[in-house]
Amino acid sequence: MEERIQKILARMGVASRRKAEELIAEGRVVVNGRTAVLGMKADPERDHIRVDGRPLRRPEPKVYIMLNKPPGVLTTLEDTEGRPTVKQLIGSLRFRVYPVGRLDFNSEGLLLLTNDGELAYRVIHPSHRVPKTYLVKIKGVIGEDDLNRLRRGVMLDDGMTAPARIRRVRMPRAEKNSWLEVTIHEGRKRQIRRMFERVGHAVLKLKRIRIDGLELGGLRPGQWRYLSDDELKRLKKSLRI
Catalytic residues: 104
C-alpha to C-alpha distance for 86 and 203, rounded to whole angstroms? 23
Rounded distance between C-alpha atoms, residue 168 and residue 142, angstroms? 10
Q: What is the Cβ-side half-sphere exposure of residue 71, based on CA atoms within 13 angstroms?
A: 6
Measured distance CA(85)–CA(147) in Å, rounded: 34
- DSSP codes of every residue in 188-233: -TTHHHHHHHHTT--EEEEEEEEETTEE-TTPPTT-EEEPPHHHHH
Looking from the CA of 226 toward its CB, the CA atoms found within 13 Å total 8
Q: List, in sequence order, every residue forming a beta bridge with 98; answer none if it has no partner.
A: 114
Strand partners, 225: 66
Contact 99, 76 (CB under 8 A): yes
Spell out the residues 6+ positions from residue 145 whose beta carbon is closer than 8 angstroms to its own: none
